[in-house]
Amino acid sequence: MPIYTPWKKSRKYGDIYGGRERLKCSDNIFQRLHSIKRPNPNDVLPILIEDNPSRDFFFPLSGQETLEALRGLPKRDYEGITHVWLRRLKKADYIEGKLPFAWFCCGSGVRAIVLFPWPNDLTVSYGSKRPSNKVINEFERYGAKLEKTGKNWVSKWTLESVRKYYIQGILYHEVGHHIDQYYRLWSPANSKEIEEYADQYAIAKTANATHVYNRLKKKATVAS
């Protein structure tokens, strides 16, 4: 989900549109986003910001794993990204549907990918409305299962499926937004085309994502 803003909150909540399922945002989130500073010339990019997740959530990838996944792409694709922020999530914001899974934000010398944590129970609720077939097909591609629990629809994940989704369906999707905005492939007004480009970019990088996932899995096995 891209945010195009010169670090001013607009009447459209920073021009948020499309993206990874959850579309609302609250004022304090923008205040923290606007606190990100333009990198210094000698900074090694991207700069990693890693919050501690709240007790009900976790980051499927560590900060270093996220950077490694990013560097699994062609360098020209992620060059220019200044920050990767694993950002803490309030449970109340999650329950109220105020946040997406990720954002791409750019303006005033900052080009940041913001990633949010995942619920510990590996279950994501969508309320009483059944998600679209496009959403269902995407989640099932990574191994998640959609179920109706009571009146609510939920997707249930494994740790393996979440880690795969974080690499390709979330991180690489946001890199697609970075490329799209950097080269001005679409106007910010064309939200459908913007999301389609990011989706197609992530799909095109399936081999990269698989290689990164397997490498991280092997490292975790050796470490244990």
CA–CA separation, 149 and 140 (whole Å): 18
pTM for the full model?
0.85
| Tens of pLDDT, residues 64-95 | 999 999 999 999 999 999 999 999 988 777 77
At 112 the three-state DSSP class reads strand
Q: At what angle do helices 63-70 and 206-223 cross, to 10 degrees?
A: 140
| Tens of pLDDT, residues 191-220 | 788 889 999 999 999 999 999 999 999 998
CA–CA separation, 100 and 97 (whole Å): 8
pLDDT band at 33 (very low <50, low <70, confident <90, very high): low
The whole-angstrom distance between residue 218's C-alpha and the CA centroid of its chain comes to 24
Q: Contact, 84 vs 48, CB < 8 A?
A: yes
Q: Is the dihedral of CA 124, 129, 130, 135 positive or negative?
A: negative
Pairing type for strands 83-86 and 110-115 reads parallel
Contacts of 166 (CB under 8 A, 6+ apart): 60, 61, 69, 115, 118
